[in-house]
Chains A and B, each alone.
Chain A
């Protein structure tokens, strides 16, 4: 089955800096890669996703890149703000499948 690895497990940045979180996946049949943000005590919420027919997708300060050959994808947050502090999860979904496999999460802390 699919295995998704996520790095780093914790990331601390200064406000205004950029943050990058990286994930690798094992199943070459995976074709959908969402990113979820989970604030403390809250539910995971989808913030951006990318499909395998696209190499990059951007939404304001967040962007996701996908390298199908290397089987890795990354989340980029620019101009970080304190409200970006949360746990971020990447995930992968096999084409035609139903099971979303999550990475182990990255605790992002944006310091003033």
Chain B
């Protein structure tokens, strides 16, 4: 009965590799988000989709590409990984305009 799930939970990889993180929600929400939490715990929005349409696209390197195949799924693909990409990436979902967001468990990415 997991509300917002992410895979993988941990990801350790070498610089230059390409990796993907997947997110799924079974809450019936129509909006999903990707956040990055760095080592200082700052939570920053990266992207948001509403009904498969991109509505928030913050200043993020174009090595990061989100994809939403349907409103219950939001994936994040990262090309040419860099050391500075090491962080915890959280997926979240909500109804409509940003209120009451439910977060996934996070994906801890370590780039070596």
Contact = CB atoms under 8 A, between A and B. Distances in A.
A93 interface: yes
A104 B98 contact: no
13 contacts: A34-B101, A44-B103, A46-B102, A49-B100, A97-B97, A98-B31, A99-B48, A99-B98, A102-B43, A102-B44, A104-B40, A105-B42, A107-B41
A104 to B, nearest CB: 6
A98 B90 contact: no
Interface of B: 31, 40-45, 48, 50, 55-56, 90, 97-106
Contacts, number: 54
Given A45-B103, A100-B101, 15 more contacts: A34-B101, A38-B41, A43-B106, A49-B100, A89-B43, A93-B99, A96-B97, A98-B31, A98-B55, A101-B45, A104-B40, A104-B41, A105-B41, A105-B42, A105-B43
A43 to B, nearest CB: 4
Contact of A99 (B40, B45, B100, B103): B45
Contacts of A104: 40-42
